Structure 1
Amino acid sequence: MKMPATVPSNPHEVYEGDWEGWADFLSLPVITLQDVWNGREGGRIPGEPKRIQIHKPVTRAERCGRCHTCLNPRLKQACLTVRRARMEEQGKERLEPAGA
């Protein structure tokens, strides 16, 4: 795409005294890092959870007690054996035809 003749290719040099940044030049809203962390960047709908749960939580009763994450509770992760089994079940469900 070719730029119009009225738009300089080096605006930071042309507008050297008034240059505030690309966001100002392109008339974009200024989003600070604090806005992103607080969820005010406009991408999240109020009332929705901040994280999307892809996998169901694994309760302590469901843990195998043998894998690396079960033996080290400080990792605070789900049991890898149970997670792997659930993912395999989901994969099989996707591969099976709907009418079977």
Structure 2
Amino acid sequence: MIIRIVRMTFLPEKISEFQSIFEKCQHGIKQMPGCLHLELWRDLDNPNVLITHSHWETEEYLNAYRRTEFFGLVWKKTKALFADKPLAFSVEKIV
């Protein structure tokens, strides 16, 4: 299993728009093959920073999702709301 973290800094006036996008698409993401878990977090020190936290069976499943038309449409809408470049990385649990 891998864990995918995507840290996104939004323009303050665009946060509710992103939350609406997330609410509408989260079920579709959770239904993707290999997706085991999905959450949306907010940074306590910077409310303009939202983080997606997802679990995937393998990196291949994550990459397959990232190649879907669905991902492309969601990511295009999301990128337009950013105040800064996102930070994304994958990790695996050791202990």
TM-score normalised per structure 2: 0.18
| TM-score normalised according to structure 1 size | 0.18
Higher relative contact order (CA 8 A, sep 6+): 2
Higher strand share: 2
